[in-house]
Structure 1
Amino acid sequence: MFPENTAHSPAEQAVTIHQPTPLATIPIAPVIPVQPGAVPAVTSIVLPDGRVITGYAIAPSQPEPVTAKPVVSRAAVNIALGGIGFGAVCGGLVLLTTFIAALAALVQQLIILAAVIFGGWIAVQVLTTTGKDRSATTVNIRKAVIKRSHFHG
């Protein structure tokens, strides 16, 4: 077990043997009577190497039926409905911006019209004389000659 050149005592070289502990007895479950038609038949299968396996045939377990998912998810439907709603609103938004632009143009035209009318009224007031004062001052402007930075009038 150990090589000869190691210095082990014969007590260290002894092999320890463990005895198995017996298991506690388990009570046998009561036998439940089963209808004769429900007991599966015992079948035996011979393997290619000659071994025989005997046992009950078990029906394969059926997986639980999967609930059918809808073809289109709810998120996709919500996004599509949101897009349709936004598309419906866009036409109104275009009309709203067109209305605002037309209103701004109308206000601009009204301001220009008011300026023209008010300017014309002021011009009429300045250029016309009243009935009481028909005399006006006449100013004769002669041709002035400017020679060498001196005014000769």
Structure 2
Amino acid sequence: MILPIVQHPDPVLRQLCQPVFDVAGLGGLIVDMFDTMYDAQGRGLAAPQVGRSERVFVMDCTWKEGERTPLAMINPEILSRSRGQQRNEEGCLSIPDHPVEVERPERIEMTWTDAQGTQRRGAFDGIEAACVLHEIDHLDGVLILDYEVPA
């Protein structure tokens, strides 16, 4: 099911999301979030963007160029960030038509729980690292607007 995407300045986008303790209780939320993200032509979507203040997001950084590589993360935690930085222009489904140049680490290592309830650990580089960090920002109530340099 396609869910409505919450638009800035809705206050849910600024809330610190709560941990998920019952992965099975997420029901079809993750499936609906993927359907919504693909329908909106996005590469990531966090629970607050569909009105849920829970530490869950979905992403797929490759689907626009070819094969889908969907990834759902529940209760993600960053273990380390590289010293090396990258700058990318980032868009946001909750702030349409307002891209912002953001500087983020080139590489991150993290842990998360997947949609089946299995604890995972992995590293992400480049655009995937930027996407993960963008979505974790959403879970912490941070938006790309917070990175804008005043004119």
The TM-score with structure 2 as length reference comes to 0.14
Structure with greater contact order relative to length (CA < 8 Å, sep ≥ 6):
2
Whichever structure has more helix as a proportion of its residues is 1
TM-score normalised by L of structure 1: 0.14
